[in-house]
């Protein structure tokens, strides 16, 4: 393992065109560390943006202990920022495929996404992660539904269908930090659909529960999906803690016990608070490696100084912990054996987590769960839709329009897909995602935006009752148009 890491560093040292370093690291099982950085606004000149990016790149490529690279995120803070593929094109061409570039579907039509993919091809960018995109604090369901979201599955399929001289290394994301069975299974089934649509690796949503990371890796291996997994970790600041508490970071939740730890840390001096965050990051990084993750992506360390400190601490932790048991004892002690699941939902895929030997591939039995029962009114609605609309996907969109509006909340899209979505209209999702849940769903299954339940949970519930969950992983649902 060490030799592979050194070989990869050597290839970079000789300043030769590096091919796809990121892909090679993942394929050879070399633990890789990515530092997240958002594309800046257009008020910066290309020259200034390139200068800042070059500083970060110089810092990450100078690290010798392990392969380190950048993860350039897309449409994270503003829709008027540069797109990540444009920003990445400011990097020297020979290094571009050392890094990971995101493609966000937020406020992006299918056609524009095609343009971004073409831009990636012409800039020789191969490592692309497709995401559907997230809402921003203060946005309502109405604001979001007025925007176009290009669903990650559609982006992956477009990438798969694009003829390129050098094949893409396509990635997807998954929210594994969910504590209700419907939300977690919906999320995992969607990830499997992404794998079936061409994703070759996955990055998890940021979270702090190592047991959930262990569960996701174990579950996927048990299902025969051995694609590389990268865990997204977050270096916390007091501002970020506040944002998480205010629910302003879609898909990220902290438990009451963990919040109590953070509140205690917030009483420390600024430097002590920071030291506590770096120690937690070290432990999480070492844990991810021992749990079988192929790498980590760190949010919140996006200056050359923070990257240097975090990389040094991570390299030290990777040497400090050599067995899962040794790591788990220290991690549980550091976290004061806190309950990392929020009080209202406690579901884990397996009961026995964060134990065993490093690299152990045996899987404990899955935790049993009960599929929630539909209320009487919902059952009646479900039966009525199945009885009245068995073939609406083959009929003119306007046929039975009022009945569809009354019984299925039809929003009048031109491509009815009710029979393919368990007779629930996916146009009710504010982002109009048809193929499954998004990463912003809250831990208990509530929609990222507003207080309604995610429509994809009702679809999962119905598919689970009818033993049709395979359709959630295999059937591609086209957009509504």
Facing residues of 127 across strands? 169
Among residues 148, 448, 464, 473, the one that binds ligand SF4 under rule CB under 6 A: 448
Indicate the helix (H) or strand (E) that contains 401.
Answer: helix 401-408
Among residues 125, 437, 459, 463, the one that binds ligand SF4 under rule CB under 6 A: 437
Going by C-beta distance under 8 Å and a sequence separation of 6 or more, which residues neighbour residue 26? 32, 169, 201, 228, 294, 295
Is the alpha carbon torsion for 80, 83, 88, 89 positive or negative?
negative
In whole angstroms, what is the distance from residue 48 CA to residue 66 CA? 29
Report which of 329, 359, 361, 322 is spatially closest to residue 2, judged by C-alpha positions. Answer: 322
Q: Is residue 35 classed as helix, strand or coil in its secondary structure?
A: strand
Name the residue nearer to ligand SF4 (CB basis): 21 or 417.
417
- Asked whether 170 and 156 are in contact (CB, 8 A), the reply is yes
| Min CB(453)–ligand SF4 separation in Å | 8
| 249 lines the binding site for ligand SF4 (CB under 6 A) | no
Name the residue nearer to ligand SF4 (CB basis): 228 or 463.
463
Among residues 421, 430, 434, 461, the one that binds ligand SF4 under rule CB under 6 A: 430
| Min CB(454)–ligand SF4 separation in Å | 3
Name the residue nearer to ligand SF4 (CB basis): 40 or 372.
372
| 84 lines the binding site for ligand SF4 (CB under 6 A) | no
| Min CB(350)–ligand SF4 separation in Å | 25
Q: Token digits for 390?
A: 């068995």
| Min CB(317)–ligand SF4 separation in Å | 34
| 85 lines the binding site for ligand SF4 (CB under 6 A) | no
Indicate the helix (H) or strand (E) that contains 174.
Answer: strand 169-174
Among residues 130, 178, 441, 472, the one that binds ligand SF4 under rule CB under 6 A: 441
Among residues 261, 285, 307, 454, the one that binds ligand SF4 under rule CB under 6 A: 454
| 438 lines the binding site for ligand SF4 (CB under 6 A) | yes
Q: Could you tell me which stretch among 95-103, 109-117, 214-222, 430-438 binds ligand SF4 (CB under 6 A)?
A: 430-438
Q: Token digits for 229?
A: 């997994």
| Min CB(20)–ligand SF4 separation in Å | 32
| Min CB(145)–ligand SF4 separation in Å | 9
Q: Is residue 451 classed as helix, strand or coil in its secondary structure?
A: coil
Indicate the helix (H) or strand (E) that contains 204.
Answer: strand 201-204
| 447 lines the binding site for ligand SF4 (CB under 6 A) | yes
| 456 lines the binding site for ligand SF4 (CB under 6 A) | yes
In whole angstroms, what is the distance from residue 90 CA to residue 85 CA? 9
| Min CB(442)–ligand SF4 separation in Å | 8
123 Cα distance to chain centroid: 25
Q: Is residue 16 classed as helix, strand or coil in its secondary structure?
A: coil
Q: Could you tell me which stretch among 16-24, 400-408, 413-421, 442-450 binds ligand SF4 (CB under 6 A)?
A: 442-450
Q: Token digits for 287?
A: 């844990």
Binding flags for ligand SF4, 386-425, as an x/- string (CB under 6 A): ----------------------------------------
Indicate the helix (H) or strand (E) that contains 171.
Answer: strand 169-174
Q: Could you tell me which stretch among 221-229, 396-404, 449-457, 458-466 binds ligand SF4 (CB under 6 A)?
A: 449-457
Helix/strand number for the chain, H first, E second: 18, 8
| 455 lines the binding site for ligand SF4 (CB under 6 A) | yes
Q: Token digits for 24?
A: 């090679």
Q: What share of the chain is helix, strand, coil (3-state, %, to 5)?
A: 45, 10, 45
Q: What pairing do the DSSP bridges indicate for beta strands 228-234 and 295-299?
A: parallel
- Asked whether 287 and 24 are in contact (CB, 8 A), the reply is no
| Min CB(422)–ligand SF4 separation in Å | 14
| Min CB(329)–ligand SF4 separation in Å | 37
Going by C-beta distance under 8 Å and a sequence separation of 6 or more, which residues neighbour residue 471? 420, 463
Chain positions 267 to 296 lying near ligand SF4, rule: CB under 6 A, are: none
Q: Could you tell me which stretch among 7-15, 156-164, 230-238, 439-447 binds ligand SF4 (CB under 6 A)?
A: 439-447
| Min CB(182)–ligand SF4 separation in Å | 11
| 60 lines the binding site for ligand SF4 (CB under 6 A) | no
| 191 lines the binding site for ligand SF4 (CB under 6 A) | no
In whole angstroms, what is the distance from residue 458 CA to residue 437 CA? 11
List of residues contacting ligand SF4 (CB under 6 A): 429-431, 433, 437-438, 440-441, 447-449, 454-456
């Amino acid at each position: 393992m060490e030799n592979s890491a050194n070989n990869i560093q050597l290839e970079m040292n000789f300043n030769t065109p590096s091919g796809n370093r990121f892909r090679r690291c993942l394929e050879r099982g070399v633990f890789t560390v990515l530092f997240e950085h958002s594309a800046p606004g257009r008020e910066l000149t290309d020259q200034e943006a390139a200068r800042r990016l070059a500083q970060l790149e110089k810092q990450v490529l100078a690290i010798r202990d392990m392969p380190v690279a950048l993860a350039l995120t897309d449409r994270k803070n503003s829709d008027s920022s540069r797109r990540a593929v444009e920003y990445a094109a400011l990097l020297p061409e020979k290094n571009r495929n050392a890094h990971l570039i995101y493609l966000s579907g937020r406020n992006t039509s299918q056609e524009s996404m095609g343009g971004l993919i073409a831009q990636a091809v012409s800039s020789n960018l191969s490592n692309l992660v497709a995401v559907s995109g997230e809402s921003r604090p203060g946005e309502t369901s109405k604001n979001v539904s007025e925007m176009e979201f290009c669903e990650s599955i559609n982006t992956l399929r477009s990438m798969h269908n694009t003829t390129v001289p050098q094949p893409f290394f396509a990635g997807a994301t998954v929210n594994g930090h969910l504590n209700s069975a419907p939300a977690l299974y919906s999320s995992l089934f969607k990830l499997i659909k992404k794998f079936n649509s061409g994703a070759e690796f996955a990055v998890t949503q940021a979270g702090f529960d190592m047991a959930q990371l262990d569960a996701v890796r174990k579950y996927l291996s048990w299902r025969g999906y051995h694609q590389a997994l990268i865990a997204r970790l977050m270096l916390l600041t007091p501002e970020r803690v506040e944002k998480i508490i205010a629910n302003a970071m879609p898909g990220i939740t902290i438990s009451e016990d963990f919040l109590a730890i953070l509140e205690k840390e917030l009483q420390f001096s600024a430097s002590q608070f920071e030291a506590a965050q770096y120690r937690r990051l070290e432990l999480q990084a070492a844990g991810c490696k021992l749990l079988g993750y192929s790498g980590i992506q760190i949010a919140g360390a996006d200056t050359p100084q923070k990257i240097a400190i975090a990389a040094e601490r991570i390299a030290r932790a990777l040497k400090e912990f050599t067995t899962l048991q040794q790591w788990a004892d220290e991690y549980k002690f550091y976290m004061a054996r806190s309950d990392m699941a929020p009080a209202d939902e406690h579901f884990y895929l397996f009961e026995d987590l964060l134990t065993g030997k490093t690299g152990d591939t045996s899987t404990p039995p899955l935790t049993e769960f009960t599929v929630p029962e539909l209320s009487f009114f919902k059952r009646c609605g479900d039966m009525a839709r199945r009885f009245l609309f068995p073939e609406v996907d083959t009929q003119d969109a306007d046929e039975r329009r009022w009945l569809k509006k009354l019984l299925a909340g039809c929003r009048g899209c031109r491509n009815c897909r009710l029979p393919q979505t368990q007779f629930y209209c996916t146009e009710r999702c504010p982002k109009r995602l048809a193929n499954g849940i998004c990463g912003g769903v809250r831990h208990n299954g509530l929609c990222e935006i507003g207080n309604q339940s995610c429509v994809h949970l009702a679809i999962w519930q119905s598919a689970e009752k009818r033993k049709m969950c395979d359709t959630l992983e295999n059937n591609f649902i086209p957009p509504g148009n």
